[in-house]
Structure 1
């Protein structure tokens, strides 16, 4: 199903047309980057530079419970150590006003459901697993007022959900081809306990923030791990509703551990800083390049010899 008609552009959107195309890498600053993160960053950088695009970074630090400025700085240092350079860095924690403006242009409604409410609704006959069933979508004004008061008394605020006009949406991925995913009334702004909400502003949801920021930074090429492919239809749908161009998607295979499971920091010496205790940065770079089918020894050489992106995951058993 196609998206609803794009919302009219405002002055901020009009400036987007003047932004040169870009690729991006957007880590969450919740710890040091491991080999899988670094490999994806290298692919994103090479894809952007080899196609004449700018390369931008985005520090996705709106999750204040897990993010830290120290972690963000360490991640930038690690990317620079590999020889990656970028045109700009954007911090999501400084973008609350932009997300609020985007929310104001979207059809949305308050959701008063708890996690238990949603779990119970998901067990109902004919419920679609993983989708919000629309419990709060058509509540009357009186019912909303009562629900809002009930939450307020408990020291909570409602979530805000998109009033989606489509059940599914299709994207084109360079590796996966045509991919169609379900679209529901997903969350744009989280609710919850008032005392636990971020001090800097509302608790914005990832799906909204990433779409707004991609458009703002001129990102027309999104390279990331293929575990995020299922989120692309929702984000592409939201971009189309906001009147933003849908980017090209490139979801690359992940780096796995010896058990064939997605690599994580729990797998031992897997971060650049850990590996540098026994290996040089050049050796780490050579490993990453080799996993991409290249014999490059530095970043610019990788761009000059860049070829096809491998379509199979890589198993990391150490250098």
Structure 2
């Protein structure tokens, strides 16, 4: 099936939205599963709203998600000559015509149709009007006025439209620029796209585009219209529901594999499975298994998945991803313990890289203020004496490893006739500034002998 060709064709008028990313993912998965080609096309014919910044944001989002493309990116703005050529072909074949109706005339026709209870579509006045060389015009496609245009949607099933309901579509504006529905068909046809997966807000465009394919003599691709993504209140996902930009989730400390896994499950399922590797997704994905109803974006589910992937990842990889988050907090990991060792102590308790970065701060800043409530409760004269004895023992401990550190605590507790709860919390506040941290033995091992002893004696001095 190497002749299978799919595409993702975003408009560069903003960031890569999670809905667009899911559409790109579905196209990418099907192309990879069927050994086909994945094409990236930038639909930048809206010159006023398209920006290079948006193009860069889209490409960056695709790369972060790992959605590599085989061809492109192609830019519609570089293909105006191609579109003009096809407009002329349709005019020459009598399948398109020049429309000289003014904006005022069109508005009058629309109002009259509404008054008469008719659909306000163009009435075909210029279908047989002679040319008026000096008058401005648009070019309209001469759509059939009878019959039915139907297609079998891979998700929604059979969809039919009566041709009498369809307009004579404008394919070229009066300034000579082509329109969206026309350029999409020319691009998909000339690029050999065999399957079009896109949002279901395009369903009403599809019959018009099918008629254009047929008029131009091109095979009609298969269509699959994906239901939209909703917020928790069952309205269309928007900024009021939280972040909608893919890269915003990267900046919030999410891993790309969590985002990919989450997006694919927004509408697609494979039994009761929730977690899929990229290879499993390619193997198991099918567009027919995408549901007909809208997916509801659940931030808590995404957090759960992200926590899973953080726990499964290697400390070395996470350390590399964590560096910019630490930099935002003014921390250079070169000034303290090995970052991978720090990460290893935080993986089980971090749902995002932001949480991990916040949890790592104490490893690299030994001059922190103590949590007032924790210090008031734990920093007693008795605790100071116990911590001083502990510091003395740790100073001479060989080898300085997790098991030996744990044994030292147990020996001290046994000799003093106390429980771990009578010294552990105070040591935790001394080392971390508060009562929440990874295992105290892990923390001491990662901080190392000298820094651990320094922090304990700093606390003893503070108590004194």
TM bucket normalised to smaller: 0.7 to 0.9
Aligned partners of 2:152, 2:76: CA distance in 1, in Å? 26
Contact 2:12 2:52 in 1 (8 A): yes
Aligned partners of 1:313, 1:74: CA distance in 2, in Å? 26
Contact 2:6 2:193 in 1 (8 A): yes
**Residue of structure 2 in register with 1:284 after alignment:** 259
Give the superposed CA RMSD: 2.3
Deviation at residue 204 of structure 1 after TM alignment: 0.9
**Residue of structure 1 in register with 2:178 after alignment:** 204
Selected match of 2:242 from 268, 280, 286: 268
Gaps of 5+ in 2: 303-464
1:65-76 correspondence runs (5 A): 65-76=48-59
Selected match of 2:202 from 221, 228, 236: 228
Contact 2:31 2:37 in 1 (8 A): yes
1:6-155 correspondence runs (5 A): 20-89=3-72, 90-106=74-90, 107-125=95-113, 128-141=118-131, 144-145=132-133, 148-149=134-135
Aligned partners of 2:127, 2:240: CA distance in 1, in Å? 41
1:316 aligns with 2:291: no
Question: Helix, strand or coil: the match of 1:219?
Answer: coil
What is the TM-score normalised by the length of structure 1?
0.80
**Which of the pair has the greater relative contact order for Cα pairs under 8 Å at 6+ separation?**
1
Deviation at residue 219 of structure 1 after TM alignment: 0.2
Deviation at residue 260 of structure 1 after TM alignment: 2.6
If each structure's helix is expressed as a fraction of its own residues, which one has the higher value?
2
Question: 1:245-267: CA deviations, max 9, x gaps?
Answer: 00000011111123433324564
1:306 aligns with 2:281: no
Larger mean Cα displacement after TM superposition, 131-140 or 306-315: 131-140
Bigger CA radius of gyration: 2
Larger mean Cα displacement after TM superposition, 131-140 or 65-74: 131-140
If each structure's strand is expressed as a fraction of its own residues, which one has the higher value?
1
Instruction: Provide the aligned length of Structure 1 versus Structure 2.
Output: 281
Aligned partners of 1:100, 1:242: CA distance in 2, in Å? 14
Selected match of 1:175 from 136, 155, 162: 155
Gaps of 5+ in 1: 1-18, 150-156, 192-196
What is the TM-score normalised by the length of structure 2?
0.56
Contact 1:172 1:178 in 2 (8 A): yes
Distance 1:115 1:266, change over 3 A: farther
Deviation at residue 300 of structure 1 after TM alignment: 3.5
